[in-house]
Amino acid sequence: MMFSALSHLECPRCGARHDADRVTNLCHCGSPLLAGYDLDQVAAGVGPEVIATRPPSLWRYHELLPVRSPNHVVTLGEGMTPLLPLARLGAEYGAPRLLMKDEGLIPTGSFKARGAAVGVSRAHELGVKGVAMPTNGNAGAAWATYAARAGMRSLIAMPVDAPEITRRECVVAGAELYAVRGHIGQCGQLVNRAVAERGGYQEVSTLKEPYRLEGKKTMGLELAEQLGWRVPDVILYPTGGGVGLIGIHKGLRELQRIGWIGDRLPRLVAVQAAGCAPIVQAFHSGASTSEPWPDPRTIAFGITVPKPLGDFLILDALYATGGTAIAVDDADTLAEQSRCAALEGTFVCPEGAAALAAVRALSASGWITPDDEVVVLNTGAGLKYPDTVSIEDVPVLDPDGVIPS
């Protein structure tokens, strides 16, 4: 059994096959490419009992990851984040079997570390010397961090409004960073031009290379393993570019193909902010692609993507699993963030809070029933967004002041 069973790259739109051992971005038809594996070889060569003996990082699934040699694995110990029961919050929602996979506990404080670990490792293996990307913050921070770990250059452009900590993470990692007065799409145009003019960099923005998705699919693999190689009834995911959702769907289907989980898949739910909800709009009109969302605006910065490149893959995952899509107001997101921290002692990011608010709404509407085992992905640490919590009402005392008795 080889370290990786990667066999080829495949286009989900036109069906073209591509060589996986060359640096590749999109298919000639413009679609993102998906990594393909020799799943028969995986099924024959390894089983859950072998996986169980491996160290608790996402690399425990290396047969289903694209890096061919362990020497090229660039790691900071990412993966195997906790799957926490949220019993009090779940009882309040009417979803007593509520669980949260907490991606706040991962290097760089967001699940973007998964995509960066696998994406940077594979780029490094293929001889790429520099990576370039537009970002809403967390992806840039994660790729800059893992690029530094790999000894690679990184060129990052993010909106000036992106969470300030992510700018600092890029700077400390030695990235070449630009803060752009504009949105992520406009950052992308700037990066695109720079990459074409300079050479020496691969563009690694969302779904424009095939391996970030492979890192993110490990959320699905871990979830299945943590539940004893079975799946929950519902998974809610705060959806921007949708890489996590597409990845979880892809990972679970691979597990089905190798026989480690059964036929049933969870109903997948894309959660978006009311101020930027192209997938929700497309889903409820039965469309297979989305329309660009005009004037995107939300405090959940990580899910501010007006026109996801992989929209057709996200929508396909929702339709195929009997899932749904739902938009959440910022006010509800912020209220849910506080409620979760106060009831469960966990400080989730705004995007994770939006997904929790969606459980509240879908339980109220009856789409989620009390019997459903529900998993929410908290995609990052609340600690990265200190400004979402107001501290104005905290009394400030002089040392000779008095604490009320």
- What residues line the site for ligand PLP (CB under 6 A)? 110, 112, 138-139, 206, 238-244, 302-303, 349, 351, 379-380
Least Å distance between CB 15 and Zn ion?
A: 7
For residues 206 and 333, which CB has a smaller minimum distance to Zn ion in the complex?
206
For residues 25 and 281, which CB has a smaller minimum distance to Zn ion in the complex?
25
The residue count of the chain comes to 405
| Helix or strand (DSSP H, E) at 361 | helix 350-364
Least Å distance between CB 400 and ligand PLP?
A: 43
Binding of Zn ion by 207 (CB under 5 A): no
Question: In this chain, which of 16, 50, 342, 364 binds Zn ion, going by CB under 5 A?
Answer: 16
Backbone angles phi, psi at 35, to 5 degrees: -75, 135
CA–chain centroid gap for 304, Å, is 13
Least Å distance between CB 313 and ligand PLP?
A: 11
Binding of Zn ion by 11 (CB under 5 A): yes
Between 31 and 70, how does the x/- string for binding to Zn ion read (CB under 5 A)? x---------------------------------------
Least Å distance between CB 96 and ligand PLP?
A: 26
Q: What is the CB neighbour count within 10 angstroms for residue 397?
A: 9
Q: Six-digit token pair at 339? A: 């409620």
For residues 46 and 349, which CB has a smaller minimum distance to ligand PLP in the complex?
349
Q: Rounding to the nearest 10 degrees, give the CA dihedral for residues 177, 278, 377, 353.
A: 90
Please count the residues of this chain forming the interface with Zn ion, following the rule CB under 5 A.
Answer: 7
Using the contact rule CB under 5 A, the part of the chain among 26-34, 53-61, 66-74, 380-388 near Zn ion is: 26-34
Q: Give 1: exposed, middle or buried? Use CB within 10 Å, 0-12, 13-18, 19+.
A: exposed
Residues 6 or more apart whose CB falls under 8 angstroms from that of 80 comprise 56, 57, 58, 60, 222
For residues 260 and 283, which CB has a smaller minimum distance to ligand PLP in the complex?
283
Binding of Zn ion by 17 (CB under 5 A): no
Which amino acid, residue 168?
A: R
For residues 75 and 378, which CB has a smaller minimum distance to ligand PLP in the complex?
378
Q: Which of residues 239-268 bind Zn ion (CB under 5 A)?
A: none
Instruction: Measure Cα distances from 325 to 14, 145, 217, 321, 347 in Å.
Output: 26, 32, 20, 12, 24
Binding of Zn ion by 27 (CB under 5 A): yes
Return the percent helix, strand and coil in the chain, to nearest 5.
40, 15, 40
172 binds, among ligand PLP, Zn ion, none (CB under 5 to 8 A by kind): none
CA dist 215 and 273 (Å) reads 24
Residues that bind Zn ion (CB under 5 A): 11, 13-14, 16, 27, 29, 31
